[in-house]
Amino acid sequence: MKRLPIAALLLLIGLGVLLLTGFGNDGAFWSQWGRNAQHTGMVSIPGQPLNEKLADIVYDPFAQLEQDENLILYGEATLTAHYQATLVDANGTSFYMMQKSGTYPSCHPAGLWVYGLPCGPNAWNRVQWNVVRYDWTNGQPVVAWTFATDWKPELNATNLLIGYVGLLGWEPVFHPALANGSLYVPGAGGTVWKVNTSTGQAESHINPFAGASIVPANTFVSGPLTADDSGNIYYNVIELNPNGNPWQQNDVAGAWLVKVTPTDSSATVTFAALVPGAPPGNSTNCLGTFFNLGDGGASLPWPPPGRSSPPSQRCGSQRPGVNIGPAVAPDGTVYTVSVAHFDSQVAYLIAVNPDLTPKWASSLQSRLTDGCGVLLPIAPQGVNNLPNSCRYGTPVGFDPTTNAKGSGSVTDQASSTPTVLPDGSVLFGVTDNYNYSRGHLLHFDAQGNYLNAYTFGWDSTAGVYQHDGTYSIVIKDNHYPGPAYCSFNNPVCFSLPPGPYYVSQVNPNMQVEWSFQNTTIDQNHPNGYEWCVNAPVIDGNGVVYITSEDGNIYSVPQGHHGVFTTPQQEIFLKEALGAAYTPLSIGGDGKVYSQNDGNLFVVGQ
């Protein structure tokens, strides 16, 4: 390995001190998504051994009902929800977790929401969201208080009878943050509640849109709240237009990045101002795919003969991805992600100055060169039935669905959020059109220059293991069953079997250092179970904590190379087939907070 210059090494060590200390969020050890404003997921203390379940708390009592609603659409009882990471105070004596209450609006029979009925996910705004503080008393978590918020998730708005997919039942994340000795909780209409951590009472209700020409009922805090080292809160807001379908028919009414200071003052900037070079919302010239041909796959393999490019499509205005929380670098630069409302390929990683003026916006389009001839075979001349192939003559590296370099897509069904690395570069996980339902972890430097990418298992925020004057990146690396880029009744759309399922650690050049493989095998899972973690924990010894759909939480040690299958420890929590992708947390006392099937488990010794 090339040695770092002394100046660079000192800078890296300085950033590392900030990374490991959790920054200046007084009264908090795990304060937000990914623990700190960089979302690195690493702590300086060792985790406790996974000897026993210390607590089992049901925070989503509707999990089974939510799973039942997905039988028609997904063919199995799968939990398509995104959940909060548990927040833990400075000494581990208290923790904060979401709690759903009320009555779930089930469909009768279950699943009819996919046809536009106002039930199930199409009516999830009828559920009550709360935050509960728990105190450890005599080794047991005891409820100290409950704060009921008026926050609601964005509209699902699925109606497949008329072609509106909406959010397909993927429930947006509700996620508060600890800062300035208070708990900041998402509220209705783009607002935030500042809650006293001792009493659970609201200290203030911060409304950045007071007097603005928005419709509060149509305006949503979108994604986790992020607290920087100075106690400033950043978050994304979307205003939908519900007159018709708000996702496939109508453009967004507005989109903002919001900053709230410790003194409760606030400022906003529109996403249109942050991405001035993006196509206008009313443009119809955005990058489409060959799916827009509407030929039922008759022209496969793609690219179709005689076509150099696919039909263009509507763009829509720029707005944040639904579950994205901003990240903040130690120098105060704020990173978030923007996407065209109607075209997930027209997306940008955005850097914003602390005063909310734009710094740069770097396109995620046409960045990838590992499509045809790399991940996918190029068919021999005259062969049109080779599974998962590109048409003969396709340029190496191209995406067969666009006949161009591959583009990162920002989907509202994912919870990936940016991670700021110790050297100031930034990671963000995207989907794409050709990588067998997986995706790519994109890597940009602090000036917005694209560096490299790693193919990964989608819907995951990268964790960071800092060590030996450098760092490593921990990411979910599932291989899902399915075809490469199409699902028509055509030999080209051949579905690969499920697995293998890895969590991988890679170096800054995206080269694999090790991969830990799930090897829980049974009749229905001959290649193991998928990892359902979407934000890992890395402790002070470099031990990685991850959860699997097999119902276990695993601790994975460093010191391995290549593929290995033996963890440091594991403990069974609860059967989790069709489980939601969930984050982990750790307290200052080393207790590990994990989630499974709507239950919060605390594990330790």
Give the chain's length: 605
Model confidence, pTM: 0.94
**Cβ partners under 8 Å of residue 4, min gap 6:** 12, 469, 470
Q: Which fold has domain 6-281+316-368+406-604?
A: Methylamine Dehydrogenase; Chain H (2.130.10)
Residue 265 has pLDDT above 90, yes or no: yes
Domains of the chain: which residue ranges? 6-281+316-368+406-604
Position 107: which residue type? C
User: Which whole number is the average pLDDT over 382-407?
Assistant: 98
Report the alpha-carbon distance of residue 417 to residue 419 in Å, rounded. Answer: 7
CB atoms within 10 A of CB 1: 7
3-state secondary structure of 73: helix
Residue 8 has pLDDT above 70, yes or no: no
3-state secondary structure of 402: coil
The answer to whether residues 530 and 458 touch, using CB atoms and an 8 Å cutoff, is: no
pLDDT at 26: 62
Report the alpha-carbon distance of residue 323 to residue 238 in Å, rounded. Answer: 11
Residue 9 has pLDDT above 50, yes or no: no
Pairing, β 512-517 against β 562-564: parallel
Phi, psi values for residue 213, rounded to 5°: -90, 65
pLDDT tens digits along 139-173: 999 999 999 999 999 999 999 999 999 999 999 99
The answer to whether residues 392 and 380 touch, using CB atoms and an 8 Å cutoff, is: yes
The tokens for 43 are 């702590």
User: Which whole number is the average pLDDT over 100-118?
Assistant: 97
pLDDT at 25: 59
Q: Which residues of 132-165 are buried (b: 16+ CB within 10 A; e: fewer)?
A: bbbebeeeebeebbebebebbbbbbbbbeeeebb
Report the alpha-carbon distance of residue 139 to residue 591 in Å, rounded. Answer: 12
Residue 29 has pLDDT above 50, yes or no: yes
More confident residue, 300 or 22: 300
Residue 7 has pLDDT above 70, yes or no: no
Q: How far is CA 554 from CA 405, 472, 568, 603, in A?
A: 37, 19, 8, 11
Q: Which residues pair with 548 in a beta bridge?
A: 531
pLDDT at 575: 82
Q: What angle do CA 497, 501, 505 make, to 5 degrees?
A: 145
3-state secondary structure 140-152: EEEEEEEEECCCC
Band of residue 14 on the pLDDT scale cut at 50, 70, 90: very low
High-pLDDT (> 90) share of the chain, %: 93
Mean pLDDT of the chain: 94
Q: Which of 202, 314, 323, 312 is nearest to 248 (CA)?
A: 314
H helices within 188-300, ranges in order? 271-274
3-state secondary structure of 18: helix
Position 284: which residue type? T
pLDDT tens digits along 508-555: 999 999 999 999 999 999 999 999 999 999 999 999 999 999 999 999
Report the alpha-carbon distance of residue 4 to residue 469 in Å, rounded. Answer: 8
pLDDT at 27: 72
Residue 12 has pLDDT above 70, yes or no: no
The tokens for 164 are 């509106």
pLDDT tens digits along 427-473: 999 999 999 999 999 999 999 999 999 999 999 999 999 999 999 99
pLDDT tens digits along 580-592: 999 999 999 999 9
3-state secondary structure of 199: coil
